[in-house]
Amino acid sequence: MVSFVNIPHGNSNPLGATCYAEGVNFSIFSKNARQLDLLLFDNEDDAVPAEVITLDPHKNRTFYYWHIFIPGLKHGQLYGYRAYGPKNPTPGDMFDENKLLVDPYARALAGHKNYSRQAAKSPGNNFGQALKSVVIDPYQFDWEHDSPLHRPYSTTIIYEMHVGGFTKNENSGVEELKRGTYLGLIEKIPYLKSLGITAVELMPVQFSMSKMRSPAIPTIGVIVKFRFLPPMPAIVKVPILPRWPMNFAKW
């Protein structure tokens, strides 16, 4: 267990959870919060945090950015925030210290299986049924000697696509379990190359908390109220290994 004696104040930049050799720096924006707690969890379905670190508004805040550096933390740590502040719906202040907040800059989220939208909306604590942010160190990913192609733009032909819609239909020729996923898209690379396509630009693939599907275009018409940085689980069909290694590029 990490010792939280003499915790450094941390830096406001960059936002999110950033891994360093000595630990992890956390930074998040909140203009109106009166108090902010960083909650650390051992498991994604835990209802009680393993540690609660209260940020000092005089030491751990720069302008509207709350920040802290926790020595000893590493890639894979689960965390969330608890914010105290005004409860005034008219200007949009809906602070509720009983709710676990996701870091908008988190690179991964955990707790999809137990997540409850109803628990998030209802009075009371929702920690055991809330999504939890995951500390990710992108430098741990093994690119296997891959490198940019350095193809000139003058010879580049870009195909913009929606990952879910591109292979969702059975006429894509992709087996059912891979349709609408990254793995299904990979199978279509030879087809794209045969068309002369040299680059693929993916439409938004980030995780969305709420979406509405258009009845006219059921696989593509998505209206997103707000998004987070992690990838959308519905288009990932490979098992996520313990502690969420950086295998996004292989999905």
Asked if residue 8 is part of any domain, the answer here is no
One domain for residues 124 and 162: no
Return phi, psi of residue 129, to 5°: -120, 25
Among residues 26, 244, 14, the alpha carbon closest in space to that of 138 is found at 244
The pLDDT assigned to 234 comes to 57
Give the domain range for residue 75. 16-140
The pLDDT assigned to 111 comes to 87
Amino acid at 55: L
| Token pair in block for residue 11 | 């830096």
Q: What is the dihedral of CA 230, 235, 240, 245, to 10 degrees?
A: -40
One domain for residues 178 and 78: no
Collapsing DSSP to helix, strand or coil, 16 comes out as strand
One domain for residues 51 and 115: yes
Last residue of a domain, one of 117, 140, 163: 140
Amino acid at 190: P
One domain for residues 32 and 111: yes
The pLDDT assigned to 205 comes to 65
One domain for residues 209 and 182: yes
Asked if residue 10 is part of any domain, the answer here is no
Bridge partners (DSSP) of residue 160 are: 201
The pLDDT assigned to 130 comes to 93
CA distances for 34 relative to 31, 57, 58, 82, 92, angstroms: 9, 8, 11, 11, 15
The pLDDT assigned to 231 comes to 63
Last residue of a domain, one of 118, 140, 162: 140
User: What phi-psi label fits residue 54: left (phi over 0), alpha (psi between -120 and 50 degrees) or beta?
Assistant: beta
pLDDT in tens, the chain (251 residues): 444 444 578 999 999 999 999 999 999 999 999 999 999 999 999 999 999 999 999 999 999 999 999 999 999 999 999 999 998 877 778 899 999 999 999 988 888 888 898 998 899 999 999 999 999 998 888 888 888 889 999 999 999 998 888 998 999 999 998 888 888 899 999 999 999 999 999 886 666 555 434 333 344 344 444 455 666 665 555 444 444 444 444 44
